[in-house]
Amino acid sequence: MPLAEYRKKRRFTKTPEPKGSAPARRQTGGGRRLFVVQKHRATALHYDFRLEANGVLVSWAVPKGPSLDPSQKRLAMAVEDHPLDYARFEGTIPEGEYGGGTVMVWDIGTYELEDDEDFATAYKKGRLTFTLRGKKLKGTWSLIRTRGPRQWLLFKRTDRYASKAVDIIEEKPRSVLTRRLLADIARQGGGDVEKAATGDPR
């Protein structure tokens, strides 16, 4: 069942994360669909990269976060699908719960697959190339599966949005929804502020 793994891992009486309704196809127009990148300070800091497909958010955990430098291929580990309404989830998951820690909506926008293949076919082949139209991430990107079903690489393709000089993670650390830093979100949500602060610029 769609989202079964997501729901199995969470106790919704404890976590504020959305349970998610039954997946439904939603088109944003012109072949564009939703994407979101969430900054997540759980056991370790990482960035969750999510693409809308077939009524859910297909998701990868990216330990080092995205880079605008095409030479920087970032490990991206496939994780369980998330519900579409997770795209605007920002807050604190209680310690002791799955993924306990602080979550920020670091970037959000739409994406469009570059090739004529549908998402399911491209995913099965292990090669997704797409154009992002976010607040921070723009232009052409790829996700390439490298080992087993879970291990992928995320990287920027060379175009006018690529840059070796700009560290987008350091330069734009705030939420695109609320302009808060990760520590601010933890403080206002009753989370571990010191732990969350390790994901903020010094």
Tell me: the pLDDT tens digits for 77-135? Answer: 999 999 999 999 999 999 999 999 999 999 999 999 997 789 999 999 999 999 999 99
**Any residues with CB less than 8 A from the CB of 11 and at least 6 apart, and which?**
97
Answer yes or no: is 5 within a domain: no
Neighbour count for residue 66 (Cβ, 10 Å): 24
How far apart CA 172 and CA 126 sit, in angstroms, is 30
How many distinct structural domains can be found in the chain? 1
Segment holding 110, helix H or strand E: strand 101-113
pLDDT of residue 165 exceeding 90: yes
Q: Which of 48-62, 105-119, 131-145 has the lowest mean pLDDT?
A: 105-119
Question: DSSP per residue over 37-74, as a string?
Answer: EEEEESSSEEEEEEEEETTEEEEEEETT---S-TT-PE
| Cβ atoms of residues 76 and 62 within 8 Å | yes
Q: In a 10 Å sphere around its CB, with 0-12 CB exposed, 13-18 middle and 19+ buried, how is residue 167 labelled?
A: middle
Answer yes or no: is 103 within a domain: yes
State the Rg of the chain over Cα: 16
Mean pLDDT, rounded, for 46-70? 97
Which of these, 86, 119, 116, lies nearest to 16 by C-alpha position? 86
Answer yes or no: is 120 within a domain: yes
Answer yes or no: is 107 within a domain: yes
Structure confidence at residue 29 as a pLDDT band (50, 70, 90):
very low
Answer yes or no: is 11 within a domain: no
| pLDDT for res 2 | 80
| Cβ atoms of residues 87 and 57 within 8 Å | yes
Answer yes or no: is 19 within a domain: no
SS3 24: coil
How far apart CA 78 and CA 146 sit, in angstroms, is 11
Question: What residues make up the domain containing 75?
Answer: 28-197
Answer yes or no: is 22 within a domain: no
Answer yes or no: is 141 within a domain: yes
pLDDT tens column, 169-190 = 999 999 999 999 999 999 999 9
